[in-house]
Amino acid sequence: MKRNILITGGAGFIGSHVVRLFVNKYPDYHIVNLDKLTYAGNLANLKDIEDKPNYTFVKADIVDIDKMREIFREYDINGVIHLAAESHVDRSIKDPFTFARTNVMGTLSLLQAAKEYWETLPEKFEGKLFYHISTDEVYGALELTHPEGVPAPFTTKASSEDDMAYGTEFFLETTKYNPHSPYSASKASSDHFVRAYHDTYGMPTLVTNCSNNYGPYQFPEKLIPLFINNIRQGKPLPVYGKGENVRDWLFVEDHARAIDLIFHKGKVGDTYNIGGFNEWKNIDLIKVIIKTVDRLLGNPEGQSLSLITYVTDRLGHDMRYAIDSRKLQSELGWEPSLQFEEGIEKTVRWYLDHQDWMDNITSGDYERYYVEMYKIR
């Protein structure tokens, strides 16, 4: 089947990896990359594929339903991979309305445009798919029942509960939603709308909830690229609270592979959790980043530990996220391809080798935002 796939947010961090994968892997597909190009969208992320014959970029706002209707008609869209979203928790605390507008109303606009267009076709919903990418944050927070952690494997695949790093509970696809931030509340709402369109109109949809991603092309307000850049420049490393919050980390290219697999083989109407089986306490992760960056820069080991600066904790800061990806593993055969240490090494090397990319992004506007957000200079 000829596929004309609309990928929203394709100039962003995760989106650019998904666009690149689909453009290169499926030359018979026409990939339409739709992005508003806000602060986090950057077409430099896709310089290597911008001239491919099966790739088209469209600058537009997903909230503009008339424009969405036009795009579905013009490009005969029969598949959607929806990544466009406001995604930074700190920004959502300061400006929740923008998150509601983009994440809720934008998703609803896309759903309605897809429904209206597909219903005009002779085959209607047959062969169509609306795939919505969400976050593990919609589930709320898990307790830190092993606060000190235990040795690797840091995974739900551990041989016993005692071998699990920070707790025995994990987010399942059936876990009740309990969002705590304006960001996660907006994503939870968008998830509900996607499922409502499936249940009410019979629209073919899929939802995935993923853990924290890391890797190349991530905007430097996020922890890993922010800290790599700050170590390089000798700037403070702002750590919320005591750095004890725990997150599950996944290399972005593994997430893109999962999206590809689920788009083609996932069960319509279903939900899949995507995680790295890879929990780290923030302060321990930061020390790994420091050690890796210092080594690759030729600094004395531990030199940048003095840059750690503890700052006032984020409002409503969830203690622990941990994804159980065993459904995705058992049904579709996916699992992460990189060990975390290998992924961090690859990520740090990329940012150090692409300092021009980083310097172009960290403009004066970003610098002012950084200082205001963390209250440090």
The closest alpha carbon to 216, from 33, 43, 339, 346, belongs to: 346
Q: Is 183 known to be catalytic?
A: yes
Residue 249, classed as helix, strand or coil, is strand
Annotated active-site residue in 166, 183, 240, 374: 183
The closest alpha carbon to 110, from 75, 76, 61, 41, belongs to: 61
Q: Is 137 known to be catalytic?
A: yes
Tell me if 209 sits within 8 A of 85, measured CB to CB.
no
**Residue 295 corresponds to which amino acid?**
R
Annotated active-site residue in 35, 61, 137, 324: 137
Tell me if 217 sits within 8 A of 16, measured CB to CB.
yes
Annotated active-site residue in 35, 61, 136, 254: 136
Other Cβ atoms less than 10 A from the Cβ of 162: the count is 9
Six token digits for residue 109: 């606009």
Dmax over CA atoms of the chain, in Å, equals 67
Q: Is 163 known to be catalytic?
A: no
Helices marked H in 176-267: 182-201, 223-233, 252-265
Active site residues: 136-137, 183
